[in-house]
A and B are shown apart, each in its own frame.
Chain A
Amino acid sequence: MLAWFLLLCVQLMFSWICASELTFELPDNAKQCFYEDIIIGTKCTLEFQVVTGGHYDVDCRLEDPDGMVLYKEMKKQYDSFTFTASRNGTFKFCFSNEFSTFTHKTVYFDFQVGDDPPLFPNENRVTALTQMESACVSIHEALKSVIDYQTHFRLREAQGRSRAEDLNTRVAFWSIGEAFILLVVSISQVLLLRSFFSDKKTTTTRVGS
């Protein structure tokens, strides 16, 4: 019993099990890099999606500790990449908005390293799971994928909603602006026309002919 707990302590100290999902804003002409220390043989997944901004695209690049590029895509809206760490070290992935001159982008990414941590301390036992337990495990996996789909749906909906709100404000400003321009143009037309005819009384005969 004591041995189990000590084993777990050691395992937790060196466990490389982690999942990070973050949403951040990438200003124009900016690049943001994230790093993670991964041990060899761990299966990792990187998923990203651009939520708002411009044409909803971003450059993404994933490098291994030797600097070798594992994944490189330019102007991608959404992608998912799975790889197995071929060596120990710091893996780096960067999102770049350097091709854009004035649009900020909001980027969401989900970096999953390894499997989920075991739920219960003595999970690493050799006996098989009972039917109930394996049913629970499969329900858990299914719910995880439901939550994942929900997240992606929420991001797409946020994209649509931000476009709709943008459109709404633009319509308001444009209507006021156009009404103003219309009035200014019609009044200045009349004034200009009047100015052609009003100044010189001697030219009235010329105009008449």
Chain B
Amino acid sequence: MEMKAVVSSTGLMLLFAWLSPSQALYFHIGETEKKCFIEEIPDETMVIGRYRTQLWDKQAGSFLPSTPGLGMHVEIKDPDAKIILSRQYGSDGRFTFTSHTPGEHQICLHSNSTKMALFAGGKLRVHLDIQVGEHTNNYPEIAAKDKLTELQLRARQLLDQVEQIQKEQNYQRYREERFRMTSESTNQRVLWWSIAQTFILIITGIWQMRHLKSFFEAKKLV
């Protein structure tokens, strides 16, 4: 009997943890406005985003707790501008993706307002919470699933953190390489351009003088 109560409480606890965006940061978005957020992450990193929307109610003069039928379109692009997720979610949603290439991923949200009339003067409040990498791990859940003691759980958390640091360092090396290649390419371009410019200048100067000389000789002025 106690076991059942414990299990149901765990479930309830996990449910509340899942629905936590009610306490997260929020901002206002216009009717057709698209809000984009950038996440620069290494590869094989998991990202979990949760949002909750509230519609402004003109009569009540406040935000409604939740509105069914109000959806948000979530679009996620990878560093090569390829769309990896493009889906419609309800007024409360949770989206997740794992990066396969390191770089800047763009997460865009915009509402598909089906209730245009209610939007007159419309404001939409969006609560958003994006967690990246080791912050996506739900430690109480992991402890319950693998039956870890407190010390083991702490060690697991430290391992996850160190793994994230390693991935970031690896990504840092890749970015530094790109930076170095860009700088070397600029260096090469400046070098070749200076040589080419001097060459063009000399050639056009010679051509000008020869052309004018032959022109004036033809005109019998020289």
B11-19, B74-82, B88-96, B111-119: which one contacts chain A? B11-19
* Residues from chain B with Cβ under 8 Å of A33 in the complex: 27-28
Query: Contact at A168–B182, with CB atoms within 8 Å?
Result: yes
Q: Does B66 contact A (CB under 8 A)?
A: no
A123 to B28 Cα, complex, angstroms: 36
Query: Contact at B10–A132, with CB atoms within 8 Å?
Result: no
Tally A-B pairs: CB < 8 A. Answer: 170
Q: B68: shortest Cβ distance to chain A, in Å?
A: 22
Quick one: which of A16, A32, A190 contacts B23, CB cutoff 8 A?
A16
Chain A 106-146: CB-based contact to B (< 8 A → 1; otherwise 0): 10000100000001110000000000110011011001101
Query: Contact at A120–B153, with CB atoms within 8 Å?
Result: yes
A37 to B216 Cα, complex, angstroms: 85
Quick one: which of A32, A154, A165, A182 contacts B197, CB cutoff 8 A?
A182
The chain B residue sitting closest to A2, CB to CB, is B5
* Residues from chain A with Cβ under 8 Å of B28 in the complex: 33
Q: A41: shortest Cβ distance to chain B, in Å?
A: 16
Quick one: which of B169, B182, B205 contacts A161, CB cutoff 8 A?
B182
Q: Does A189 contact B (CB under 8 A)?
A: yes
Chain A 14-25: CB-based contact to B (< 8 A → 1; otherwise 0): 011110101111
* Residues from chain B with Cβ under 8 Å of A15 in the complex: 23
Count class of interface residues, chain B: 35 or more
Q: Does A157 contact B (CB under 8 A)?
A: yes
Query: Contact at A13–B25, with CB atoms within 8 Å?
Result: no
Q: Does A40 contact B (CB under 8 A)?
A: no
Chain A 140-171: CB-based contact to B (< 8 A → 1; otherwise 0): 10011011001001100110110011011001
Chain B 180-218: CB-based contact to A (< 8 A → 1; otherwise 0): 001101100110010011001100110110011001100
Q: Does B87 contact A (CB under 8 A)?
A: no
Query: Contact at A23–B9, with CB atoms within 8 Å?
Result: no
Q: Does A99 contact B (CB under 8 A)?
A: no
Interface residues of B in 34-48 (CB under 8 A from A): 35-40
Query: Contact at B175–A120, with CB atoms within 8 Å?
Result: no
Those 6 A-B pairs whose CB atoms lie nearest each other, nearest first: A5-B9, A136-B154, A175-B193, A186-B204, A12-B16, A23-B38
* Interface of B toward A, CB cutoff 8 Å: 2, 5-6, 9-10, 12-13, 16-17, 20, 23-28, 35-40, 128-130, 139-140, 143, 150-151, 153-155, 157-158, 161-162, 164-165, 168-169, 172, 175-176, 178-179, 182-183, 185-186, 189-190, 193, 196-197, 200-201, 204-205, 207-208, 211-212, 215-216, 219, 221
15 chain-A/chain-B pairs, Cβ below 8 angstroms: A6-B9, A12-B17, A15-B23, A24-B36, A34-B25, A119-B150, A120-B153, A121-B140, A139-B158, A146-B165, A147-B164, A171-B186, A178-B197, A186-B205, A190-B208
